[in-house]
Each structure stands twice: as structure tokens, then as C-alpha cells.
Structure 1
């Protein structure tokens, strides 16, 4: 049986990525799992809600996506998983929505993602990890 594992990666958070490496590698070796790495580039309205639209000119979405997929491929190369069992994906929009959408599309058996320790803003606003755990149709491993 081949399992499908989805690994959402925030390309701007290298220390979070380092936390999941051993978990992904060990799970990938079970049943020769296929590992799908995903990065999500937030859409402009998301940037605007964070107040970043006021901070100057934003790069084009194509530029953001090119940079993000390039970084994601570099990150995926660090995982000790055969290349024929790794695939990278990029999406634009809400991270939690795109993670759940791709997990459904892939019929993922497991989602492995890193999460920050909760703080006051997480308790009030929720987090991507919490939303994925609540709504995923498969098992979710949250690494802290």
C-alpha cells in the first residue's frame, strides 16, 4: 500500500520546516509513501488585511509564486526521500483552505505540518494548524 502525505511548508519559516523533517522522513519510509510539499502564497486581500498593502509596492503575484516554488523545491531537496516520491505544489489564497483542498484532491492519508506555540493572537484569531486539524478528512500530525 502506498500512502500519500501532504506537507504544507511556509517557505519564510525555516525553523518550523526543520521541526518536521524527521517526522516526514520517518513517515515517508512507511509503505514507501508519496510526499507532496505545498506552499501557499497569500492573495492580495490577505496582505491588505495585514496592513501590508500600505507599506509600498507589492511584487507581482507571478514573481511571488516563482520565488515561493523555487524556495519550496530547495526545501524539498533537503528531505531524505527519493525524488520519484516527492512532488511540489503551489497555491494562492488562504493557507488553511488550500491545504484542505489539496489534501482532498490527493486523497491524502496524512498531513504533517509545523505550528507555532499558541499565543494570545492565536487564541483569539485561530491558526492554520487548528483549522486544518478541525476540518481535515485524514489524520493530521502537528509538530511543535
Structure 2
């Protein structure tokens, strides 16, 4: 099965992270690494004057803590928080770290997703590895 699995996590109620963890555990080979990845979008320049200087570092630590909580008893799991545009950052990180399967939770598509695209759709189109979408 897979040796290096990535689960991108966005913190919203519509995403089935528990389902993604279940699938990752089922498809993981012996000794596989499962990485929980959260991508932080950049704070727009016009907003930076209105947020505390510690906002980004505090948000990063809060994301890391939430991901660590999600790990539970997942074997060989790790937490990574990166910055950038979400879809592109997920696929770039997967390429750079040799991920062989991305298990990505997604919400039910709506018309705006068809017109604008979603993170899961970006990952499916641009990943250079297997992608398993959970709805």
C-alpha cells in the first residue's frame, strides 16, 4: 500500500476529516507516515495594519494544536503547517516530500465550485500522485 500519505486539513465543519483518517489508516502500508497538513493563507497587506503583530504566529500555533488533537492514536503521524495559496501549496508540498497518496476531505460541490474551482478539485487536477477524495 502507500508509504507517505498526506491529509490536508481545513478547519470547517463540512469536511470529513475523521473519514480521511479512516481511509488513510486503511490504505497505509506497514511503517507508513501520515502527515496532517494545514495551509495558512497569507494575510492581505491591507489587513496587516489592523491585526496584532502576533496574529500569524498565534494562528499557526493554534492550527498546530488542533492538528495534534486530530492525530489521536494514528501511528507514525506528524503535523505540518505551511503558508501559501492552498491548492498549490498542497501539491507542491506533496511533490517536495515524496507523498504517494493524498487523502483530501471535500464538501459537496455547489455551482460556485464548478465556476471557481475548489481546493480538492485543484489537488485532483495537479497532484503527481494518487488522490482519494472524501465527501
Q: Where on the TM-score scale, by shorter chain, does this alignment land: which range?
A: 0.7 to 0.9
Q: Counterparts of 1:74 and 1:11 in 2: how far apart (Å)? A: 12
Q: Which has the higher helix share?
A: 1
Q: 1:63 aligns with which of 52, 58, 65?
A: 58
Cα separation, partners in 2 of 1:126 and 1:15, compared to 1, 3 Å: closer
1:86 to 77, 88, 97: 77
What does residue range 33-44 of structure 1 map to in structure 2 within 5 Å? 33-44=32-43
- 1:2 offset after TM fit, Å? 6.8
The answer as to 2:94 corresponding to 1:103 is yes
The TM-score, its normalising length taken from structure 1, stands at 0.81
Two-structure CA RMSD over aligned residues (Å): 2.3
Structure richer in strand, relative to its length: 2
In structure 1, C-alpha distance between the alignment counterparts of 2:40 and 2:128, rounded to whole Å? 23
Q: In structure 1, what is the Cα distance between the partners aligned to 2:111 and 2:14? A: 23
- 1:133 Cα deviation (Å)? 0.6
Could you tell me which runs of 5 or more consecutive residues in structure 1 were left unpaired when the two chains were aligned.
none
Cα deviation, residue 14, structure 1: 7.1
TM-score by length of 2: 0.86
Gap runs ≥5 in structure 2: none
Aligned residues: 132
> 1:41 Cα shift?
1.3
Residues 1:133 and 1:17: Cα distance change in structure 2 (over 3 Å): same
- Displacement after TM superposition at 1:15 (Å): 4.8
SS of the residue corresponding to residue 81 of structure 1 reads coil
